[in-house]
A and B are shown apart, each in its own frame.
Chain A
Amino acid sequence: MKTEKIRTDILIIGGGTAGCYAAVTAAENSDKNILICEKAHIKRSGCLAAGVNALNAYITEGRTPQDYVDYCMKDAAGIAREDLLLSLSERLNAVTERLEKEGLVILKDAKGKYVTRGNRNIKINGENIKPLLAGMAERQKNVRILNRVNIIDISVTGNRVNGAFGISIENDTFYVIEASAVLIATGGAAGLYRPNNPGFSRHKMWYCPFNTGAGYAMGIRHGAEMTTFEMRFIALRCKNTIAPTGTLAQGVGAKQVNALGEVYEQKYGLTTSERVYGTVNENVQGRGPCYLRTSGITEEQEQSLLKAYLNMAPSQTLHWAESGEMPSGHDVEIEGTEPYIVGGHTASGFWVDTDRATTIPGLYAAGDAAGGAPQKYVTGALAEGEIAALAMCRYLENGAAGKIPEEEIALRENEISGFLSNGDSPYTAEQLEEAMQTAMDSYAGGIGTNYRFSEKTLDEADRRIVQLQRLSDTLHAGDMQELMYIYELRERLTVCRTVIAHLKARQETRWHCFAENTDYPERDDVKWSVFVNSRFENGNTEIILRRVKTP
């Protein structure tokens, strides 16, 4: 393994939605050198690999950014940051128009106006949205892209970020990257909990299975303040294929019905967590399975659905075709997914200011990595990438160049050669990953317990995760890809501990399923209208409660 040192002004960790857009923004607004490190290849990496069906965050005619903020605050039951939501909402339409200019197909009416789906969504053909974004980044002269380079950690010394360390999966290289500002755009965390299809199809999940919580883990390790990890995200999805349900519910107006044919969604409410909770509860009460009632849709609607799913979740179209159970004649069974930590949907992530600056000077976060602003979706992630990029350019005007101490480089090289030369572990990263998912499922509110947990079960979860962390020290990597898998496992274990600490800290049940605490089954607005934040210090997760500002 050789060591290569790189120097850049701005390092972007993760070339997904937020990362690509941040690179483009910084390149167009400065002459700084920008480096994207992407562990796969930016053309299709991250959440948008298969495409996306609609843009879910857009300010439609007659609505204002504040309306969008109000909707998000309500859906999050008050635990979100209005300042962050407003700053991204104000940019939603501009980033949308930019994407259209770059070639994104958006449905328009005869007068040339975008056709809306409900109050906040617009209809697109999003199959090629990621190649479009990647192309925009690739065309910038001052953007350099390193594909297949997995960042394993950031370097923080002298109370600021100085860069990061990476490994190349392709060419046996250890990268030492000195940077003056660093953007965490690594996405959220999938694979913490036992998934819906835990066998051969274990990666057929809602969220990108290659988003392993890397950025969260880097922040946690270095004592960054994190927020709202207890507000897990659980998606309501089509059974088996884990394909989206919004297209059926909002697109063709399919209602949630139980096995008796009763519409149950009004009984529980229509927020994201209530839709999942209702489905879980109908099953618990013996009225499952539950479905989206698509029976009776027209032939034309059915054909449109087949195409729509090919543009975002092709498995569902294949499933319909090969099972013969087409949606016009058969209702679509639905279920909740395993929990994820994902700041684009709930409020989990780095605690940031309106510049998307984290509590570590020089370190920024955007998209699913940044907390406090749920329901940001694709356009919100783009907006945050833009905000963070502009803020980093300003930061660079006064900031000194990052410098990584030689001792730290040597320590990292040792750590890596340790994993490459370890010999006596009976375990693999895969085995420990399964053990982690089982522990989280059983004791930290996974599918297996209908998302419920108690203080006692959380203690057991934590005990097991700590043990797995110790076992992960002894793992052996046969090549650089296996080395990446070890680091990914360790990232997930770090995130798991923070999730457990947050779940334990919030002594109420504010969001059904997302944080269903059986010791405290009621919502308590007097005591718990607060953010649960945390800082990891000396091996402990210190909980910090912060007031939600009310205007």
Chain B
Amino acid sequence: MSEAPVIEFHCVTKKFGGVTAVEDLTFAVRPGRIVGLLGRNGAGKSTALRVLLGLVQPTAGHANLFGHAYQDLPDAPRRIGVSMDTIGPTPGTTGRRDLRIWARSLGLPDSRVEAVLDQVGLTDSADRKVKGYSTGMRQRLALATALLPDPELLVLDEPVNGLDPDGIRWLRELLRTLAAEGRTVLLSSHLLAEVEQTVDDVVILQRTLRYSGPLARLTTDGADRLEDRFFELAGASAPGGSRD
């Protein structure tokens, strides 16, 4: 397997008006790894992922997937599965119909829709309107959409949000299975305890990069808690919670 980075951020800065969401972000993700992008709410995680996917233009720097910008990467939609908190399903659809829309757009057969519905455990509710789905079911549908093209790389923004304990365990096992198959996963989260059980590498972002490397090195092979190391690197929170 090639050890060329699957994902590379080079000095990425993104400003929205006078607000700097991400500043001078540089890190790489190696193939076959599960990488946790950690930070508080408003730390710039989603912005960084949107820059990576070409949804947002960086103010400076660039981000590549498999050596190319997303829009220049051949067959990008089939190679990269995406689930983001802010990407909802097609309005007015059922779970099955929503997946069929994306399957057709990707040139995939309907059998693939049934396969991912089964994979995420939504087969029984596939013909219900998505509007009536619980948060956890919506999260599973988003994951099903990401898995639809059987991608080499998964980019998941807060994938644990809304999942119940069974769902969290299922997701952890799924990600482990995907990584064992040589696929790469970049997931953003602010749930440190969950991430600690799932990822190989960690990127800590608090507008600027605070750490990038193996989880084991950060936690001294488990001698330190990720939470403690996170607060050391990301800085203390404002009273009452995050500094959004």
Genuine A/B complex: no
Identify the A interface with B (CB < 8 A). Answer: none
Identify the B interface with A (CB < 8 A). Answer: none
